[in-house]
Amino acid sequence: MRILGIESSCDETSVAVVEAGCIVRSCVIASSLADFRKTGGVVPEYAARRQVECMNACLFKALEQSGSAPEHIDALAVTRGPGLLGSLLVGTTAARALAAVWQKPLIAVHHTLGHLSSTWLQDGVTAVQPRFPVLTLSVSGGHSDLWYRTTHTSGQRIGTTRDDAAGEAFDKGATLLGLPYPGGPSLARLAESGDTAAYDFPSPLSREDTLDFSFSGLKTSLKYLLRDLSRDGVATDRPDIASSIAASYQAAICRHLLDKTERAMERHPEVQELHIVGGVSANLALRLSASRLAADRGVTVRFPSRSVYSTDNAAMIASAGYFLMQERPEAVNRLFLTRATEDVASVLQ
**How much is the pLDDT for 335?**
43
pTM, full prediction: 0.91
Q: 75: part of which helix (H) or strand (E)?
A: strand 75-81
pLDDT profile of the chain (349 residues), mean per 10? 96 95 96 76 88 96 97 96 93 94 94 95 82 96 92 95 94 94 92 96 93 95 96 91 97 97 97 96 96 96 95 97 90 50 45
**How much is the pLDDT for 347?**
47
- From CA 291, how far away is CA 162, in angstroms rounded? 26
**How much is the pLDDT for 336?**
44
**How much is the pLDDT for 111?**
94
Parallel/antiparallel/unpaired status of strands 23-31 and 12-19? antiparallel
**How much is the pLDDT for 124?**
77
- From CA 312, how far away is CA 13, in angstroms rounded? 9
- From CA 7, how far away is CA 188, in angstroms rounded? 26
- From CA 14, how far away is CA 31, in angstroms rounded? 8
CA-based end-to-end distance of the chain: 25
**How much is the pLDDT for 37?**
76
- From CA 308, how far away is CA 282, in angstroms rounded? 9
**How much is the pLDDT for 43?**
87
